[in-house]
Amino acid sequence: MSAGAPERRPSAAFEYMTTRKDEFVGWARKFSLFPYPFVTACCAMEFMSVSSTLYDTDRFGAALPRFTPRQSDLLMVVGTVTHKQAPILLKVYEQMCEPKWVIAFGVCASSGGFYQNYAALPGIDKIIPVDLYIPGCPPRPEMVIDGIMKLQDRIAGDRHPIINQKF
């Protein structure tokens, strides 16, 4: 600001709105998840059943999978990840929009599963941060829905710094 310019103050109505913006933005983000499925192994069948009409993740705001990381904010790593696939997974994660969340779907994505060999990565948390682990081999659709709901509660409770001091 210049030396003689008066300081701008927001109106009282805007101050009220900014005190409630975290709840509003959290609620909006909670019900607008765009998942990117990184599906590599047998958990794919359970992922498909979660997306079917019987379980219907659409009512939770996470139905329409995006097949480009630039349009998604939830990375669902489904199945075994090998050391050869790890750089690809990291590249997908880096291309995602902020804020972004990661779900490790199944025991193989969480800990490498029953594969105790040189090829399988012992958990995706070795290369990218994981927000939620869903256990099981394969996990039941009810567990996946419960995990999505837990992640949504976490998203709603987070701080959402999108408005700065000048706005």
Q: Are 110 and 145 in contact (CB under 8 A)?
A: no
pLDDT reported for residue 94? 94
Q: Which residues, other chains included, contact 43 with Cβ-Cβ below 8 Å and sequence gap of 6+? A: 78, 79, 105, 106, 108, 109, 138, 139
- For the segment 119-126, the average pLDDT, to the nearest whole number, is 90
pLDDT digit string, tens, across residues 12-57: 555 555 556 777 777 778 888 888 889 888 888 888 888 777 777 7
pLDDT digit string, tens, across residues 80-111: 899 999 999 999 999 998 889 999 998 989 88
Q: Which helix (H) or strand (E) holds 27?
A: helix 21-30
